[in-house]
Chains A and B, each alone.
Chain A
Amino acid sequence: MKLGWKIWLLIIVIVLSIVSIRPNFFGKGVLITSVEKNSTASQQGLKQGDLLLTVNGEEISTVDAYGAALEKAFTQEKVDNKTKVIFTTNQKSIILYLEKDPEITVSELPSTRIKTGLDLAGGARALVKTEKPLGAQEMTDLVAITSNRLNVFGLQDIKVSPVTDLSGERYLLVEIAGATPSDIKDLISKQGKFEAKIGNDTVFVGGDEDVTNVCRNDATCAGIESCDQAAEGYFCRFRFAIYLSEKAAQRHANITKNLKVNTSAQGGYLEKSLDLFIDQELVDTLLISSDLKGRATTQISIQGSGSGSTLEDARNDAYASMGKLQTILITGSIPYKLEIVKLDTISPLLGSQFVFYIILAGLASILAVSLIVLIRYRNIKLSLAVLTTSFSEIIIILGLAAFIKWNLDLPSIAGILTVIGTGVDQQIVILDESKLRKEKIGIIERLKRALFIVVATYFTALASLLPLYWAGAGLLRGFAVTTMMGITVGVLITRPAFVEIIRKMEK
């Protein structure tokens, strides 16, 4: 049986879609989604995109397993205060001597290339409003600073974009997939204005104009200095070095040269200290050593502390605070206030169960529909034709979504399930036109009429979906997009192919 070009087109598109989805259910290992710059791991050649297969010989396939394996590794004996950890990737095997966490993030291997939205994969989403309306350039800058901040903090799978809703309001939409830090709110919405002042004079501010380099991930110039037990828990002090530009260093010299020196048992210090402010809140005060008086020193050590109920908590808190400070010093500040008007932090746990049931619902719907078609037309071949056509529409939409890296969230999925319903409607129209009143009018005429109905409903559906593309700051866009993709694919590819299948079956 010779297949017409429309059927071939359908087959080709289906195959392309499956390739685009690239299903892979049996993969081993976890995907390395980011490696901190200048970390021991990156120096040893670990890269983003590598597949981590074993940790110290143990095979791992989930994020939890990775965490457990690392924990186990750290309970081993330390040599020189460092723990030996062996990572085997799909590229090579590397040995790391780590003082602390290897500073990489991992995620489970996706079983397909379909990207699931936050509702299913977990993560955070924030809509941020600025205190004054922003122009185009300012908005671009805001996007850049925010992305930068999140990247510097260690978050890689992020999407920051400006959105406008129907009423013309502009927002910043921040979407972070996977795990999110608990201080996501601060990270996004704090202006992050860092100032170091002596008295009322500003010595330097955050940002690359004054701060040329911030030491990170190098134990010689950044890290935890000491930890002590305090009244209610533990208390750890951290320090890291920063390098000032010549201008800022000169400012430091000018301000300090007129200050008096106070000598005490601990040594000589200037009468005024260096006060560190973040968003106008004093966060720390550093004594300035007397030998820095009048000197255009370019290296400064920034200190701070963290606390917790256990030593572990205190260390983690200290690292977190240090990370935040380093981020603000590197990226600079945002010159206006930000307000988070919508914040969702979604746990990934429920998501995986969702996916199972959604797939089940999709398959069951297609089955139920095919059953009704079978009862109505009493023809198994017809019923199978309807079944395969519906199924192929779904595959094509999924393939398209994977290809354009569209995030499938709950509204998108509702859209896809809708397409099953409307798609079948069209097929029934076509079926009826070809089966009924065979004797009276030519089949071409009837199929033309069927196609007329199909195209008419296509345009009315399109018309009713378009406004949804812009409404609600684009958060419901997913539904509009998947449904429009579905019905367009239907009209252009699957229905014409279906018509041809029917005609072939008639002969």
Chain B
Amino acid sequence: MTQEQPQHQEQGKPEHAHPKKPAYDRIYKIILILPLALLIFSFVYMFQFYQENKDFIHKDISLTGGTSITVNGEVDIVRLKDFLNGKLEDFQMKEISDLRTGKKIAIIIETKSSPDEAKKILEEFLGYTLDEKNSSIEFSGESISAGFYKQLQIAMIAAFILMSIVVFFIFRTFVPGFAIILSAFADILMTLVVVDIFGFKVSSAGIIAFLMLIGYSVDSDILLTTRVLKTRGESINARLWSAFKTGMTMTLTSLAAVLVSLFIVSSISDVLQQIFTILTIGLFFDIFNTWITNASILKWYAEKKRLG
């Protein structure tokens, strides 16, 4: 007479004919260590980052204020850099080239100097006047950019809170709702950490990308949770597995769309390039957080509630 019986036999399910627990059942709680470790690392990193930089991201001109001048045509970027050193305040340069031919189409110079100053200095180097036919100039005052940034932060937080409310409203149970929100939060946090580690300067477009991530990452989590909680007549693992097949396809298609777009437009628009890069990183983390973090928590909950 055995004292300890495998728990599935209490429910008498036919597919658990052999007494050994499936591998997933043995490890699903343990693998939660991975996201936990990553989360702790992320928190520590962000804490340090914030101490050093007084902010959560490196910001670019659109968020700090400054001038951005796009000069059409081919410009010798190396000579220009030497020339501008010391003349322009805190400047950065990017090149835009044609995807098909590799030909340089334009060069973007970003600086904290005022647009009039920057224009004059550039005209000195180029030897011709910059007008609307051969260039574009964008200028944002410092205080309005700071205001922008603050509002985008508020928009982020508001979006996240609203999303959480909707999630709880849909599922009406605490643990599953919490798992979804935790997974979405982890996605954004981990993506943020990677973006900071690589030293990207985030623009206002980049913050939009983070907002888009909220939507993208929640999609797969909602699918997972709906399948596990609302499908009847199946074991939990079977539900998880079918959700996995659907969810992975979803994430793979999103990833394909984003990677293709990234490849095609990155050389021609840095705004779109940043959006798609952040989305790519976020989608990879989404795979991790949905199928390890969210799935494990959900299974734990489902087992506890004897759902399958």
Contact = CB atoms under 8 A, between A and B. Distances in A.
Interface stretch (A104-112, A217-225, A467-475): A467-475
B175 interface: no
Interface residues of B, number: 78
Interface stretch (B22-30, B75-83, B157-165): B157-165
Interface stretch (B13-21, B35-43, B47-55, B135-143): B135-143
A375 to B, nearest CB: 9
A401 interface: no
A366 B254 CA distance: 10
Given A342-B140, A347-B132, A410 B271 contact: yes
B253 A369 contact: yes
Contacts, number: 231
Interface in A119-146: 122, 124, 127, 129
Given A357-B265, A360-B264, A365-B260, A473 B154 contact: no
A372 B256 contact: yes
B211 A167 contact: no
B281 to A, nearest CB: 15
A420 B96 contact: no
B136 A346 contact: yes
Contacts of B245: 432
Interface in A365-394: 365-366, 368-369, 371-373, 376
B246 A429 contact: yes
A81 interface: no
B34 interface: no
A365 B268 contact: no
Contact of A422 (B132, B232, B254): B254
Interface string B262-289: 0011001101100100000000000000
Interface stretch (B86-94, B120-128, B215-223, B297-305): B215-223
Question: Secondary structure at chain B's binding surface: helix, strand, loop or mixed?
Answer: helix
Contacts of A9: none
A85 B304 CA distance: 88
B128 to A, nearest CB: 14
B254 A424 contact: yes
A165 B254 contact: no
Given A165-B151, A414-B205, A449-B230, A346 B138 contact: yes
Contact of B260 (A354, A361, A463, A471): A361
B32 interface: no
Contact of B159 (A346, A429, A468): A468
B253 A373 contact: yes
A462 B254 CA distance: 18
A224 B152 CA distance: 52
- Chain A residues touching B, range: 35 or more
Contacts of A483: 212
B176 to A, nearest CB: 12
Interface stretch (B3-11, B98-106, B190-198): B98-106
The 8 A-B pairs with the shortest beta carbon distances in the complex, nearest first, are A463-B162, A464-B159, A467-B155, A365-B257, A467-B158, A341-B141, A471-B155, A344-B138
Interface of A: 122, 124, 127, 129, 165-167, 169, 179-180, 182, 341-347, 349-350, 353-354, 357-358, 360-362, 364-366, 368-369, 371-373, 376, 410-411, 413-414, 417-418, 420-422, 424-425, 428-429, 432, 436-437, 440-441, 449, 452-453, 456-457, 459-461, 463-468, 470-473, 475-476, 479, 483
20 contacts: A166-B154, A182-B132, A341-B140, A344-B138, A350-B70, A357-B99, A358-B265, A361-B264, A362-B261, A417-B261, A418-B212, A422-B216, A424-B253, A429-B246, A440-B234, A461-B215, A463-B163, A463-B166, A466-B162, A472-B151
